[in-house]
Structure 1
Amino acid sequence: MNFARTKEEQDRLEQIGELAVRFSERAGKIDEAGDFPYENMEDLKKAGYTTWTLDKEFGGKGISLYEFLLYQEKIAEGDGSTALAIGWHMGTMMDLSTRRPWNQNVWKEVVEKVKKGALINTAATEPQTGSPTRGGLPQTTAVFENGQWVINGRKTHTTLSPVLDFILVKAYIPQRKKVGIFLIPKETKGVSVEETWNTISMRGTGSHDLLLKDVRIDEKYFVETVDPVNNQSAGWLLHIPACYLGIAGAARNYALRFSTEYSPNSIEGTISDLPNIRHLIGQMELELLQARTFMYAIAEKWDRSESKVELQAALGAVKHVAVNASIRVVDAAMRIAGSKSLFFENPLQRYYRDIRAGLHNPPMDDAVIAMLAQKALDGIQN
């Protein structure tokens, strides 16, 4: 089912689809080597995609959340690692364009470089705190000294680290007993990357450790104060479920092609004629239809809503539903393909590994269920 609503969205989707085909051709080698998809990132930059979530007044296309998810899902059909990685940059720029929390001059400095291909992401996760959505205080520290901020610490899961130009670092400020966000240009002295990303899933995201040793930045680069416990609604984080639905869609497409081509000599025709295979295909279609319809409905509601905080529980629910549905789709696809799906040259085994990573992206399943329960109980009490 095509969720593009206008000709403009369809045209852009086709443009991204052409890139996704290229990404698919490279995905196996990137996964096998655990390499970063440098060519894919360059293709996205050349297409101008990395600026699409910027407001039009800043030189972007000002695409909606709904549109953003369309394109992210399509990229993920080609390569999940590429989609998840670029999604953090795209979502960050969408968020900042909407909220505009920074000093105007600093914002313009970043925007001008982004328009020329610069990439940005936030470094928040740490070995001792785990996911920042749990509310733990960062052990990375920022101390104001002689007119500059001095930052020290280690961040894990720094996606896009091989190609980042700007890093937004969350750090604890002991002098103020607050958590701040600091904008650090990648080339700043004391910034380095330790290549620790050696996982079985999403091997191409380049989510290595970021090391910060006596990093000194100007006062103006303290861009925002945040509350580590109060996780605000963030529609752009739906790029995460969009990614996993894209991977599931790729698995579904492979399984459909396989079922219409594979004809063992024990039957007439292909296995697509068998009732058990048709049942699995129907299950895949139902899972994807439900999850995608839910995601795009909430995205459209987000784009139109004036009270976005009311959608926080729904955003979490989308991620929970989409990831778990995607896992079931990939499982069904592998049942259709049988043991062939376990061979390294078969993309289904990569989809199987990549899709598991969704369980560990925020928000976590238990947190979503707890949030929905609390919302229901609050509704009764009110």
Structure 2
Amino acid sequence: MTTAPAAPTTLPPPDLDRLPELTAALAGCAAEHDRDGSFPSLDFELVHRAGLLTATVAERHGGPGAGLADTVRILRALGAGDPAVALVTAMTLFVHAAQARRPHWPADALADLLDESARRPVLVNALRVEPDLGSPVRGGLPATVARRRGDRWELTGRKIWSTGAEALRWMLVWARTDEPEPRVGSFLVRADSPGITVEPTWDHLGLRASRSDDVLLDAVPVSLDRVTHLGPPGAEGGRDAVAGAWNALGLTALYLGVGRAARAWLIGFLHERTPSALGVPLATLPRFQSAVGEIDTALAGAERLTAALAAAVDAGEPGAAEESAGAKVLGTRAAVEAVQQAVALVGNHGLTRQHPLQRHLRDVLCSRVHTPQDDAVLLAAGRAGLARTAP
């Protein structure tokens, strides 16, 4: 497989000045897409035109080469508008960032990806989770099989929780070969390849518009060179702490954006709500002022931590990437608690469908299911701490 740089395709820099405008535009459509469970295709036109979908493409490939710090800023803004759009965008940004750090795509496939990305929104995601296996981070081999058929592979299997499935252009399908000693790798599959079916199974409490449906693969043909990190189980690409940091801090920023959206609605409600028995807005009462102060303090601290660690990862500071998992625990807990506290403050109004707070609550709870999950992070941190201080 060749990984020579593709012919540069000039891609625009991300227009970070437009982030507040994008947040507002996404927020205007988020309730409708959540209610219908419909994919927000038109919103990705806006994200694309702002240069955000290709922000992390390497400079050597004609991209802006944005780092994790800018990505955190982008995902926090998109998450405040529509976290489903932010999540799909994150998956694409992470793929480009991984290619920027460790080139591994075949040159022709990368050239196709970047050329098309210059003209329209092109969404990419890694499909790894399966019905029986669950998340591969807990170990195990994929049931999806790549069979050698002359000059190509043929992929057969089912992937679940495939974020943005119906709109993906490229799928990085994690599979094992049918060789006597199976190898494992990620197979680069065009979504319009024969044998691919997207089954609309996504019926989730939160992030409904992400359309994280099932993808069925039935003898899907893949060129022999369109597979990356093909090797013995457990050795796929090696452990990449920086990739883990991108995932942890990027997703944390997304959910902190949800927390900010909930906080913004709460502030408006407290200023507008004037119970007849009081004759003054709720915003004038110390109880609500103190609660808002607690929310603000928690969100601001988590945002500072996430942004600082992202900058440290970009700078290559020792230990920064490894600290990102703990930052995800702290940051997502702050986001969840902020939204839960907002709901508790306003009572039934917070759980009424006509208000967005119930949607923010459902969305922010999804932060708990993303890798790395809290139990794994805390177990690893505890074991490491005890090992360092063992007599």
Q: Which of the five TM-score ranges fits, normalised by the shorter chain?
A: over 0.9
> What residue is the counterpart of 1:6 in the other structure?
none
> What residue is the counterpart of 1:296 in the other structure?
307
Residue 76 of structure 2 aligns with an amino acid whose one-letter code is: E
Quick one: distance in 2 between partners of 1:304 and 1:338?
A: 45
Which of residues 98, 102, 121 is equivalent to 2:101? 98
Unaligned runs of at least 5 residues, structure 1: 1-10
CA contact (8 A) 1:168 1:181 kept: yes
> What residue is the counterpart of 2:6 in the other structure?
none
> What residue is the counterpart of 2:384 in the other structure?
375
Q: Does 1:145 align with 2:149?
A: yes
Alignment root-mean-square deviation, CA: 1.8
> What residue is the counterpart of 1:8 in the other structure?
none
1:141-164 CA distances to partner (integer Å, 9 max, x unpaired)? 112121211111000011111111
| Aligned residue pairs, count | 370
Report the TM-score when normalising by structure 2: 0.90
Kindly state the Cα deviation for residue 131 of structure 1 after the two structures are TM-superposed.
1.1
> What residue is the counterpart of 1:280 in the other structure?
291
Kindly state the Cα deviation for residue 39 of structure 1 after the two structures are TM-superposed.
1.1
1:158-207 CA distances to partner (integer Å, 9 max, x unpaired)? 11111111100000123142211100011111011001011111000011
Quick one: distance in 1 between partners of 2:317 and 2:108?
A: 28
Kindly state the Cα deviation for residue 246 of structure 1 after the two structures are TM-superposed.
0.3
SS at match of 1:126: coil
Residue 193 of structure 2 aligns with an amino acid whose one-letter code is: T
CA contact (8 A) 1:313 1:368 kept: no
Kindly state the Cα deviation for residue 231 of structure 1 after the two structures are TM-superposed.
4.6
Which of residues 351, 355, 362 is equivalent to 1:353? 362
More moved, 316-325 vs 231-240: 231-240
Quick one: distance in 2 between partners of 1:223 and 1:381?
A: 40
Quick one: distance in 2 between partners of 1:305 and 1:114?
A: 29
Kindly state the Cα deviation for residue 19 of structure 1 after the two structures are TM-superposed.
1.5
Change beyond 3 A, Cα 1:232–1:135: farther
Quick one: distance in 2 between partners of 1:236 and 1:246?
A: 16
> What residue is the counterpart of 2:330 in the other structure?
321
SS at match of 1:167: strand
Which of residues 356, 366, 380 is equivalent to 2:375? 366
CA contact (8 A) 2:79 2:255 kept: yes
Q: Does 1:254 align with 2:265?
A: yes
> What residue is the counterpart of 1:232 in the other structure?
240
SS at match of 1:349: helix
Quick one: distance in 1 between partners of 2:176 and 2:387?
A: 32
Kindly state the Cα deviation for residue 110 of structure 1 after the two structures are TM-superposed.
2.5
Quick one: distance in 2 between partners of 1:138 and 1:113?
A: 30
Large movers: runs of 4+ above 6 Å? none
Which of residues 190, 198, 222 is equivalent to 1:185? 190
> What residue is the counterpart of 1:127 in the other structure?
131
Quick one: distance in 1 between partners of 2:307 and 2:382?
A: 23
Kindly state the Cα deviation for residue 258 of structure 1 after the two structures are TM-superposed.
1.3
Q: Does 1:156 align with 2:164?
A: no
Report the TM-score when normalising by structure 1: 0.92
Kindly state the Cα deviation for residue 216 of structure 1 after the two structures are TM-superposed.
1.2
Change beyond 3 A, Cα 1:24–1:101: same
SS at match of 1:346: coil
Residue 65 of structure 2 aligns with an amino acid whose one-letter code is: G
Kindly state the Cα deviation for residue 112 of structure 1 after the two structures are TM-superposed.
2.2
Unaligned runs of at least 5 residues, structure 2: 1-13
Residue 221 of structure 1 aligns with an amino acid whose one-letter code is: R
